[in-house]
Amino acid sequence: MAQEGIKIIAQNKKARHDYFIEETYEAGIVLVGTEVKSIRLGKVNIRDSYAYIKDGEVFLHNMHISPYEKGNIFNRDPVRTRKLLLNRREINKLTGYVQQRGYTLVPTKVYLKRGLVKIELAVARGKKTYDKRESIARRDAQRAMERVFRERQKA
C-alpha cells in the first residue's frame, strides 16, 4: 500500500502461497492498550491465524501478539480470540462466502492507518498441491523472462 499514513506491521506471505485470494476487506480490531503498544513495536504474528463468523460477529483466532515488556499486570493472553470490526453489510457478504464450500477468512496484513491498527482480511479458497507448483513455475518463468530482458537492454 503506497497510501500516506499507512505503516505495514506484519504480512502473511504464506497466505498468497496457500490460497487463491478472492476479495480483501479492511477491518478494525478490538485491542487493549498493551496490545497496541506491542503491535507498534512489530511484535505480532498472523501466520497461523484465521477469522470466523459467530452470531453475526467476526472473530480472529490464533493471532499472536507478544506481551508488552513494560505491561506487567495489564498484559493479556498473547493468542486470545479478538473481535474484528466490520459493517453489517460486509459481515453479511462474508457470511455468504464462508457458507459456500471451500472459502475461508485469512488475515493478510496488519498495519497502522492514521494511528489505528487495521487488519486486511481476505476471502480465500485453498490451493491444491498442483496449484502451488503451477504458481511457482509461473513465477520462475516470469523471473527468467525479466532476466533475459534486462540482459538485452544492457547489450
The ranges assigned to domains in the chain are: 6-126
Confidence class for position 1, pLDDT limits 50, 70, 90 = very low
More confident residue, 13 or 26: 26
Query: Does pTM top 0.85 for this prediction?
Result: no
pLDDT in tens, 94-151: 988 888 777 889 999 999 998 899 999 999 888 777 777 888 888 899 999 999 888 8
Residue of 27, 55, 20, 24 lying closest to 131 (CA atoms): 20
Which residue's C-alpha cell is 464462508? 98
Average pLDDT of the chain to the nearest whole number: 86
- Per the rule left: phi > 0, alpha: psi between -120 and 50, beta: everything else, 42 is left
Q: How far, in Å, CA of 145 to CA of 67, rounded?
A: 46
User: What's domain 6-126's superfamily in CATH?
Assistant: Small protein B (2.40.280.10)
